[in-house]
Structure 1
């Protein structure tokens, strides 16, 4: 067992299923398998988990346990057994190097949210985008703000959530043009059927659609709706039009549609993919766009630079 653990640096998983009560610690694995540890075993578990907030090797963990006990371990098997259990339950996981962002300015992402119920999950998407190195600002339709509070999003991005196409703001005299020029990439997630129809028709009655149709940056759209709506011929025609127009249409995932009644929710095609998958796609689209600049570093910063690569690369 020493050989399988020794080379690894282990850390506590971001999400664990643990609770303490009295002198007992209960560990639960992803499959629901529960293990109840009491007395010294619970104390050892708590000490190891606290120490493993940072990546640790087996040797470092044993040295830490010895330091806490004030005496060398005569038999490390008890620690090895605990480490094995914590790994099986996915409470300790192998540490991986942090994702490194390329040097230079942070890419600027304009997030558009619309009247799909998945807008309620926007804070999680914003947090992940920020973790992955994006500077995020948000525009919303009025319908989107029925599902999520603007104040909550503003606390995350430290900028106002824009929703008024005709707002009077000296900082943004023409909001849809100013925001369209600011963005290195535009992501509309979730994209409702209504917003998709607006984009397909070139209809700019909301700030979200006006920005998306005005920008020279890549635009990604993540449809999110129930299966029947997603499969509707008119919706499919609209998505085909967006694709033909050079907009990046993200394929939906399979999940439980929140708009359905709780006892009728079954896993179907239609909801937008999980947030990590969406961010992966955004990074890929931006990376491809930058590559088309033939070796230039960083995202384009002006209209001419975007004109050189976006929707005009048929001769590449």
Structure 2
């Protein structure tokens, strides 16, 4: 017998690492094996402090800009993508570099180039200052793309040639928010060219759908992820919009027990850059205070795997 209160935990699935994050982390690990330490990484390889600290322990050095990388050491570019100027500068310096950009982000980069070649102006739906947005804007000439962050932006943005537009989106946005912005753009610019396929990545969509699937049964939701992780923030937003109070935490130590109270059913999920070990840490912390029954609420199995760069596996 136990005097701890009962707690049913619904653990969302899919959750945690996506194929692009898995690939990016493997690239840093393989680069360390191939070249030895230190290997430099421009920006956080993925948005997760635990992952970054583990790679530091293995010999990775994280820097903000390329000029912090010595001429004789390799550098890895982060999963979020970089402006074209970054690899160009690396080539000018004869640096060894490996690009860990998620293939789904690279797909958006190629779409942007093709649209510009077709003479269209791009309205890019995304969050100002996010590394993925900076990287995508860096694929095209200055002024060739305009950022749209909200429905209000879509309704008010001034464009020189309304009949010559296309739109693209950041891969880690809220599916619902983006649909509303796209609808506003299509109402205002009926001729706007639509992407051939969904830009919001499968992992972002699946994780949001998994939260929606369990939210009706949950009294509270914990999202494991970093505060600068766009897809993690969106998961908490999805729960809140469904009337479920949600908190984004990086580690079990950040659980606010007063806020949590004694829920009957708690949802737990993790952003695409959060490792499963941190989810287990959270569940273990909950077991210390509650008599826990955990159910994995599998929504959509994921089998996506991305190839590693030839220079690391050849």
Higher relative contact order (CA 8 A, sep 6+): 2
TM-score between both structures, scaled by the size of structure 1:
0.27
Highest Rg: 1 or 2? 1
